[in-house]
Amino acid sequence: MAANAKQRKETWEVINNREKDLNDYDSIDKPTEDLLGEDCMLFHELGKVVKARSYRVPPDLFYNDSESRKYTTSSRIQNVQAEMTHRALELLQLDGPSLILDIGCGSGLSGEILSAVTSTDGGPHIWIGMDISPFMLDIALRREVEGDLVLSDIGDGIPFRPGSFDAAISISAIQWLCNAESSEVSPQARLSRFFNGLYAGLRRGGRAVCQFYPKNKLQRSMISSAAVKAGFGAGILEDNPGTKNAKFYLVLTVGGGAVQGDITSVVLNMRDVDIQDARRRSSAGKIESKRKGNKAWIMQKKDQMQRKGKVVKASSKYTGRSRRRLAF
């Protein structure tokens, strides 16, 4: 039952005064939805506008002092961040204390979980966090996180010596590399610098797990392709596929040691995981079919000429067969 104008106005004031993160615009509890009535659609549209604006603003401007504090103090975000960090650690499969790079560390929510890993679970880990937002890092300092912090843009590369890290994680950060707030910014170049720097920064046999939210399939392909070009063995794990809670994890491996570049072994024995190998595999037959002058090539040309209405000589068992050259 729709409320009167006064009730709706009061409800909107409550909503506008609540400290909400962007994802909260995706869902409204049932009592609020009933109270808003026809205004509920407007509320959803408002959320879409706010999210659209966030895609066009670089993260160092988007995460100002206010947004950084809201992000850090939101209990919902803390729970989701913890869940994704534990999932990333599971995919890293670390068997001992490691030096981990936290990419887009923000206010240190993921870093706290890394520091809390006990020796029975392969810890304790030492971590170094890098982030582009000075406001996020300022909050991390005030919270006295255990990791070292670096103010840096990951789109400019990874500013560490080659082979410095055993592993790397990133939670909800690398999708920002796909943003182009001006024509002078190249997402492809930023992705290339990031993945090349990350590949160099990891030791041989190291792994990285980057949880990200691709805006569309193009961004997903752009990110994974840039990782492969940098030399990584790469694959994407999708949790809760086809739902609003879907989360994507880019699992990266550096060749050497026990890792041979194929990341399917990372998720092979996990429960409720289906592996879909989308890599293009060349075979001798496919290579042969592209060779000029063989039977498949000749048959394809004949078929093209027939469709154009031209007279074509009949094929036989000798079509495309190589002839011996006799010397006289």
Strand partners, 114: none
Euclidean distance between the first and final Cα of the chain, in Å? 100
Round to whole Å and give the CA distance between 231 and 138: 34
Residue 242 pLDDT:
84
The answer for 37, left when phi > 0, alpha when psi is -120 to 50, beta otherwise, is left
pTM for the complete prediction? 0.66
Round to whole Å and give the CA distance between 257 and 233: 13
Structure tokens at 181: 């707030």
Q: What is the pLDDT along the chain (328 residues), one digit of tens a residue?
A: 444 556 555 555 554 554 444 444 444 454 554 544 444 444 444 444 444 444 556 776 778 888 888 888 898 899 999 999 999 999 999 989 999 999 999 999 999 999 999 988 888 999 999 999 999 999 999 999 999 999 999 999 999 999 999 999 999 999 999 987 777 889 999 999 999 999 999 999 999 999 999 988 899 999 999 999 999 998 999 998 888 889 999 999 998 544 444 555 565 556 555 555 555 554 444 544 557 778 888 888 888 887 777 778 888 877 877 766 655 5
- Residue 127's contacts (CB-CB under 8 Å, 6 or more residues apart) are 99, 100, 101, 102, 105, 111, 114, 115, 146, 147, 148
Residue 45 pLDDT:
42
